[in-house]
Structure 1
Amino acid sequence: MGEPAWIGIDLGTQSVRSVRVDASGAVLARANRPLTSARRTSPSGDRHEQDPLDWLAAVDATLAEVADPAVEGIAICSTSGTVLLTDDAGRPVARALMYDDARAAAELPRIVAADPERWSSSMQPTWALPKILWLEPRGRRIAHSADVVAAHLVGHPVATDTSHALKTGYDLVAGSWPFDAFDRLGLAPETLPEVVLPGAGLGRVSAANAKITGLPAGTPVYAGMTDGCAAQIAAGALAPGAWNSVLGTTLVLKGVSEDLLEDPTGAVYSHRHPDGGWLPGGASNTGAGALTEMLPGADLDAFDKAARELGPISAAIYPITKRGERFPFVAPQAEQFELGDLPDDLHRYAGILQGVAFIERLAFEHLESLGAEPVGSVSLTGGAVRSDYWNQLRSDVLGVPVELPATPDPAYGMAVLAASGGASVTETAARMVRVERVLEPRPQETLNNLYGEFVAELTRRGYLA
């Protein structure tokens, strides 16, 4: 047996990633597999499904590469709001509805009517609860994507965690499902999973799965969190005033507050901090995904180098690629727009980068308006951190230092959570997470002026109150 180690699994939108980490935080092994079963076929673009059997095959394959006899625990994260139905053994019985699938939007009025005080401002059409009602789960079990993977590893149905349960309607303050409201919606209690805190034990790797993956049979599997919270752990942003900004396909912000932040607009929601308190934040429909959507086939690395020479421009794009925004404001009617002169694709590239940075700044301003502690520093994670130019631009727009963690991915965050073994994840992260670089903001009058014009245009269009 070698030194103790822990595995984190990130069930992402486009791939599954697994990582094995030791007690010092050093990465010992990595593996990933693409997910190819995504289906977006509706004319309106509101349909997004994946085959959960594709997840399980990819998980087994990555674990077979990173497994080791010294592994002492595993935790799993997945996309927030992704939901599916299983049989009584925890096996999937149909394709999963992904985090941004919006086919169930028509269920929203019925949900709000069932408990207006609870859901009139908070429930959103892409959350899991509308999807569950649309699926009509009679005789089936409700599960989130991470739950299905955990059940696969241990060989039986598992509890879900408070983080994944949030968008299914779980009451984090009361610590229970709102059964009265669910009864009015016709949602039977027996279809719902038990809910536990992140880091709680879910079971142990079965002998059957150990033969497939090479993991030690009996390895504990711990309850994980959603991918945004997992990235926050990987960044070590677990104390008030520290924030994590995850810029991948979409933009997700997460911070820490001692008290629950109430947002009458419904744009901000809060997870429970594994150590107590709250993790407020939100997920935007804008993000780095706009680059491939709006500049198909472009050499983004070449554009990034050229943008560094170009510097800030007096133009920006609100880079939403489908109708509707959910954070930092809720505007189902929101659509893409452009400000200023964008004569070619290089300027469009720069305009997208600046537009995302402006949405990020607006998000932090909205959070502070609700009572969040002022932003002291921001840890940047997600695929977009590969762009040094974008990292510096975001620091300039925010006007605060940004930190680049050494291992900025959700799978790493889950390894840290598994290593905490039910103890303080904040203390565990302090021992394991390392910052690779810190970028200081530079004064940018052009960007500040343009940001004011950008916010004014959002307001003129009715997206901002």
Structure 2
Amino acid sequence: MGVDLGTQSVRALAVTDDGRVLGRGSAPLTGHREGDRHEQQPADWWRGAADAIRRTLNALSASAPPARGHARVRGLAVCGTSGTVLLTDARGVPLTPALMYDDGRAGAEARHAQETGADVWDALGLRIQPSWALAKLLWLIGAGARNARGGLDGARVCHQPDFITGRLVGRPVPTDSSHALKTGYDLHTRSWPTAVHDRLGLSGLDFPAVVAPGTPLGTVCAEAAADTGLAEGTPVIAGMTDGCAAQLGSGAWEVGRWNTVLGTTLVLKGVTATPLRDPAGVLYNHRSPDGHWLPGGASSVGAGALTHAFPGADLARLDRLAADREPASVVAYPLVSRGERFPFLAPDAEPFTLGRPTDEADRYAALLQGVALAERLCLAYVRFLGAPIEGPVTFTGGATRSGYWNQLRADILGRPAALPEQADSALGMAVLAAHAVTGDDAARRMVRIRTILEPRPEAGRRFVGPFVALVDALERRGWLPSETATYAREHG
């Protein structure tokens, strides 16, 4: 079973060894947004997770009732949003709300953390950002020092999945190295940077032990069994961030394979034998359960631009119209919000369009094409850094519901695209749980590829000009470094 703690819901999935989904369940989540702040209450995560798991088990029982309860669940792993963090007491009881992955209030703290630990972060190829858990911890202890309780010394650092796995096991448990990355964990030495913590004033916090994804954390306790319906004694496995979980669920798990998750925004993740060094710090490396490295980055372009530009529109109809506009008469850079994070860092970047669209179809086509052109630039950047790209690029995310867009993206990338039957973070966690329990390559058996799209060379050639125009425009604005732009024009 895999459990995915999202922003708006908790999702759970029960999957067989050969990838058949036997049960699924979900429960809604709500939070509080105000300006750049986004908080959720950890107690809501537990209620949502318990509901989603119970609904999944009900579906599982309906499909093939086990002989005794729900003992067929052989293992469970949990993923969550990257950078979401809170503080708890020694027993795991929350002392603060959870600051969510996109909470941006810790801008000053991020700059302070970056400057204070620059020697360490430069060596690791990291750039501390306001959305990272390390910056949020600085904000939390600052707020704690100002409140009536007089501070948070001795509080325990807790990432989003840690809270759920701790409740499942019945005690605080180690965190996984994937979620620990944005808290400053050194994946190379496998240790917390305690010297930097001292300089930042974080040494009074209790940072958890860190284990590799796929490590057994314990088993479901009696109280959690009563809440969820899981059998007491079910193994609980250390998970990964939702982005890494989605990559595992896509089947892109061998060196040279890459996965793009296109939803509201675009996330690119791949597999390399060694860490990918990025002087700009816009790409960071997770560690996979098998010892390989998972470099990746998140762009701010994505399908959210379509939702904003065409709210409530019949997108299937617009897809048909866009098929006659290859290429569109204009070139668009469809940022979903201000600022870009990958494949370059430009906090002041804004969406733009080169030219004026002739009509609705032209504007829509330009947005579809603009996302694909940005995706092509992302792949060019990882090649620029020396990463291998082999085999099909796997497409996952909500945007894959558009068959037209899938083919367009394959054409613009000039690479085959693999589309899995089922690809989401919950599946990735089910795969990881199976890998931990059986010790074999579960991804090969559990991830089913629905189809492979071959790029159409004649269609791809039509987008060489728009791609160069986009690269030129990004360079002129001072956002895309000249060295990267030159490589992209010549080899992208």
Q: Same fold judged by TM-score > 0.5?
A: yes
Q: Does 1:90 align with 2:84?
A: no
Distance 2:44 2:330 in 1: 42
The AA in structure 2 aligned to 1:341 is R
Q: Contact conserved, 2:154 with 2:204, CA < 8 A, in 1?
A: no
The equivalences for 1:259-298 within 5 A come to 259-298=274-313
The AA in structure 2 aligned to 1:96 is A
Corresponding residue for 1:12?
6
Distance 1:464 1:330 in 2: 8
Deviation at 1:201, TM superposition (A): 1.2
Q: Contact conserved, 2:280 with 2:344, CA < 8 A, in 1?
A: yes
The equivalences for 1:337-376 within 5 A come to 337-376=352-391
CA distance 1:235–1:330, shift in 2 (3 Å): same
Distance 2:264 2:338 in 1: 16
Q: Contact conserved, 2:329 with 2:362, CA < 8 A, in 1?
A: no
Cα shift readout 1:249-306 (whole Å, capped 9, x = no counterpart): 2211111111111100011100012101211111112222222233333333443344
Corresponding residue for 1:436?
450
Percent identity, please. 53
Question: Which consecutive aligned stretches of 4+ in structure 1 deviate over 6 angstroms post-superposition?
Answer: none
**For the aligned residues, what is the CA RMSD?**
1.8
Cα shift readout 1:331-388 (whole Å, capped 9, x = no counterpart): 1111111123324444333222212111211111111111101343211111111111
Distance 1:424 1:379 in 2: 24
Q: Contact conserved, 1:401 with 1:440, CA < 8 A, in 2?
A: yes
The TM-score, its normalising length taken from structure 2, stands at 0.88
Give unpaired runs (5+ residues) of structure 1: 1-6
Q: Does 1:125 align with 2:115?
A: no
Q: Secondary structure at the match of 2:77?
A: strand
Distance 2:346 2:174 in 1: 34
Specify the structure having the higher radius of gyration (Cα).
2
Deviation at 1:311, TM superposition (A): 4.5
Corresponding residue for 1:39?
32
Corresponding residue for 2:161?
146
CA distance 1:59–1:309, shift in 2 (3 Å): farther
The TM-score, its normalising length taken from structure 1, stands at 0.93
Distance 2:43 2:324 in 1: 46
Deviation at 1:310, TM superposition (A): 4.5
The AA in structure 2 aligned to 1:95 is P
Give unpaired runs (5+ residues) of structure 2: 58-69, 142-151, 482-492
Q: Contact conserved, 1:405 with 1:435, CA < 8 A, in 2?
A: yes
CA distance 1:23–1:393, shift in 2 (3 Å): same
Corresponding residue for 2:78?
76
Q: 1:382 aligns with which of 394, 397, 400?
A: 397
Deviation at 1:422, TM superposition (A): 6.0
Matched length? 454
Q: Contact conserved, 1:241 with 1:377, CA < 8 A, in 2?
A: no
Q: Secondary structure at the match of 1:199?
A: coil
Q: Does 1:461 align with 2:477?
A: yes
Deviation at 1:419, TM superposition (A): 0.5
Q: Contact conserved, 2:265 with 2:336, CA < 8 A, in 1?
A: no
Cα shift readout 1:391-434 (whole Å, capped 9, x = no counterpart): 11110111000000111111001001000116656x22112211
Moved more, 183-192 or 276-285: 183-192
Q: Does 1:58 align with 2:48?
A: yes
Distance 1:28 1:422 in 2: 18
Q: Secondary structure at the match of 2:14?
A: strand
Deviation at 1:133, TM superposition (A): 0.6
Distance 2:161 2:385 in 1: 31
